[in-house]
A and B are shown apart, each in its own frame.
Chain A
Amino acid sequence: MPLYHTEDQAMLKDTAASFMKTEAPTTHFRKFRDMNCKDGFSHGLWKQFAEMGFTGILVPEDQGGLGLGHVEAGIVLEEIGRNLSPSPFLTTSVAGVEALKAADAALRERWFPGILSGETVLGLAIDEGAKHNPAAIAMKAERAGNGFRLTGRKQFVIQGASADMLIVAARTAGSAGEQDGLTLFAVDKDAANLSMEAARLVDSSMGAHVAFEGVEVDADAVIGEVDQGWAVLARMLRAGRTGAASEMVGVGSAAMDMTVDYLKQRKQFGRLIGEFQALQHRAAHLYSEMEVARAVVLKAQQLLDEGSDNADLMVSVAKAKVGQATGLAVREGVQMHGGIGMTDEYDIGLYMKRDRALQEFMGDVNFHTDQVARAHGY
């Protein structure tokens, strides 16, 4: 398969690009931010996502979705990143759906319809500390009656307070650091002994701290197999990481384009600042980094869709590389804009904030660079 978009994928890109630009550009983001929206996104927009078919991209056709792959999900996410369109798409329709694909029919039938129709929002309760480290999950799920009792705390649960269901990774056996013994649960937001504290993040998205103080769930809340949750978690993380990388390609590309445009408009010392070689070389270097990041993200998406054994490694390479490139894009963006880059009125700073949040989502550059070293046996 050639490493570029097929005609169908190019058409989807045009559709997604024009949709985000029209329905959810940065002015849309600002509107919801400035009204201090408790969800951090528009439920109306989420319904529109459903009408466009976006919410079901990864849902199999026989379960009402489009049955497409990570390349297609990535196309939508890149446009989301480019326009800073706030939505539950990454967590719910990409990572959440991938986890639910490993669930039994009853769970899928319970949650897929609402996701497809743009009514349901999922929260992902994975991280227990400030840095992503899924192997270290310690939260306890003890057998109790017909099910399990969950005790522990989670954080960085994106849109957790708006979620209808939380996908929770907890330990049914073993101890922190081991892959065996993890189990994933679908926990209803209204479960007793579950409390949340929403926190607005630097990019105006909503995170949540979630406390589980003996939350009881039935055995049928288990996604996949008891004690074998690592495989399901890994599947969810692969999707979420690749998806986040795609969104970051959009964030970085938009920041770069905006900055290069600015270099062609701003005059100082009687010249366009884009004439200065010092800035030209930095812009050209940034372009190189972004091109390479874009290529490896597409490679990771294709490998995931092919079910390749090599996919995990390339997902980490992608998240690490795009983290470097997009980080550079937003930093150079603010610097090259000079004073106005520091103003809230100008969009470039919004991209810097969004990048920061996406960097931390499901593992930052260092986390994934370390994964690459481990994959090479050192």
Chain B
Amino acid sequence: MSDLETFRAETRAWLEANCPPEMREPVKDESDACWGGRNPTYKSPAQKLWMDRMAEKGWTVPDWPKPYGGAGLSPAETKILRQEMAALGCRSPLSSFGIWMLGPALLKFGTEEQKVHYLNQIARGEIRWCQGYSEPGSGSDLVSLQTFGEDKGDHWVVNGQKIWTSYADKADWIFCLVRTDKDDKYKGISFLLFDMETPGVSTKPIKLISGNSPFCETFFDNVVVPKHQIVGELNRGWDVAKYLLGHEREMISGAGNAPVGSVGAMHRDLMAADPILRGEMARLDVDTLAFRAMGEKFIDEMKAGKAHPAQPNMMKYFGTELNKRRNELVMSAGGSDALEWESEASTGGAKARAWLRTKANSIEGGTSEVMLNVVAKRILDLPGA
């Protein structure tokens, strides 16, 4: 047996022995996933057991180096682990903006001390992070942000407001874009990390059309941030931010996530009476399976350094538009049942709320229109874009 075949066999055996049965059921929604944190809420003992076992193996972040809490797996080994987890239906043990977004940025821009400190915490699910990017006046035009950090020698004093901060009310720390030079738009932003319990930080959840509040307004009133809590150079935070956005877009695109079932197959009984719906369902399956291949190709190419650096923008555009379409069809197939908002039969309006939630997919992390702009400019090299 080759080394990789051995690895596959051992991985499968370990997963079979260690993944609790409850953790082989699909995650229902964002609140059903394990998010870790200083004051974690686990849905079941199995959820905690699964996270701890995976963290012990370094498999919450399998391709990160061992000193930072990972397992140091090669791209080929990481792919095998992902395939074997998918084959058994194993859930991701830990959902985390630390893993998806901050981690990759720290690996590229962090000091050795920062990597050892923060990455290990992320890998073990000990600290839950949130992202302070958007502001009320800075949405698509993010670089116009105004939250200001005044230089006070060994620290900054931060004042301002962020918005659309995902789970800010549940997060322990924030990675935050702060203006540290008012005279230079792009080269006047720094990437700061700080504790959400720091005096002067407050959050206010925003109620969305789904009725849920996954986002907050976040306020900073004379928040003291020590100088060593900067990632990258002073005033060069935009470079870190852009790099991180690539990972965020990849995450939102859904590439590399667990397989998504066929909506059509879940509604077989409707098809004879509604051939037009059947056609739309089939087209959705075509695009879903094709995009899954695209996700696999993108990840393989990225690990091998072959992917175009702007490719995550294309992925995000395609993946989020597809997810919206999927949820439109779930609602269409559900008919009046799917309209129920609070009933037990509808699990508290799960379909309707999920449908409404997906409308944010093509807005958060860069709108579809901005994604197309970036593809036009950086990949197609079109003029004046």
Contact = CB atoms under 8 A, between A and B. Distances in A.
Contacts of A275: 382-385
Given A287-B379, A298-B297, A317-B286, A292 B318 contact: yes
Interface stretch (B198-206, B221-229, B263-271): B263-271
Interface string B250-277: 0000000000001011011001000000
Given A281-B369, A377-B265, A287 B383 contact: no
B286 A4 contact: no
Most chain-B Cβ atoms within 10 A of its Cβ — which of A277, A291, A292?
A292
A291 B282 CA distance: 20
Given A280-B382, A378-B278, A293 B262 contact: no
B267 A292 contact: no
Interface string A313-329: 11001101100100000
Given A281-B369, A317-B289, A372-B289, A4 B301 contact: yes
Contacts of A3: 293, 296-297, 300-301
A174 to B, nearest CB: 26
A2 interface: yes
- Chain B interface residue number, banded: 35 or more
Contacts of B76: 2
A159 B294 CA distance: 35
A283 interface: yes
B330 interface: no
A320 B286 contact: yes
Contact of A274 (B279, B291, B383): B383
A295 B282 contact: no
B366 to A, nearest CB: 13
Nearest to B376: A280
A293 B290 contact: yes
Most chain-A Cβ atoms within 10 A of its Cβ — which of B278, B289, B297, B372? B289
Interface in A328-378: 366, 368-370, 372-373, 376-378
- Which label, helix, strand, loop or mixed, suits the secondary structure of the B interface? helix
Interface in A232-289: 260, 263-264, 271-272, 274-275, 277, 280-281, 283-285, 287-288
Contacts of B369: 281
A101 interface: no
A291 B376 contact: no
A287 B285 CA distance: 20
Between A284, A320, A373, the greatest number of chain B beta carbons within 10 A of the residue's beta carbon is seen for A284
Nearest to A286: B380
Contacts, number: 138
A114 B383 CA distance: 51
B28 interface: no
B34 interface: no
Contacts of A280: 372-373, 376-377, 380, 382, 385
A317 B286 CA distance: 5
Contacts of A378: 264-265, 267-268, 271, 278, 281
A296 interface: yes
A287 B375 contact: yes
B293 A287 contact: no
Interface residues of A, number: 41
A13 interface: no
Given A280-B382, A283-B382, A376-B264, A369 B286 contact: yes
Given A369-B282, A373-B282, A295 B296 contact: yes
A99 B379 CA distance: 41
A344 B111 CA distance: 61
Given A373-B285, A377-B268, A295 B290 contact: yes
A281 B290 contact: no
A230 to B, nearest CB: 23
Among A264, A280, A318, max chain B CB count under 10 A is at A280
A2 B300 contact: yes
Interface string A150-185: 000000000000000000000000000000000000
Contacts of A321: 286-287, 290
Q: Sort A-B residue pairs by CB-CB distance and give the 9 closest, nearest first.
A: A280-B376, A373-B282, A299-B293, A284-B375, A275-B384, A296-B290, A2-B300, A295-B294, A3-B297
Interface of B: 75-76, 79, 262, 264-265, 267-268, 271, 278-279, 281-283, 285-287, 289-291, 293-294, 296-298, 300-301, 303-304, 306, 311, 314, 317-318, 369, 371-373, 375-377, 379-385
24 contacts: A3-B296, A4-B300, A4-B306, A264-B382, A271-B384, A275-B384, A275-B385, A280-B385, A281-B369, A283-B382, A284-B376, A291-B294, A292-B294, A295-B290, A295-B298, A296-B293, A299-B297, A317-B289, A369-B279, A372-B286, A373-B278, A377-B265, A378-B264, A378-B278
Given A366-B279, A372-B289, 18 more contacts: A2-B79, A3-B293, A3-B301, A4-B304, A260-B382, A272-B384, A275-B385, A287-B379, A288-B318, A295-B296, A314-B289, A317-B293, A318-B290, A321-B286, A368-B286, A376-B265, A377-B268, A378-B268
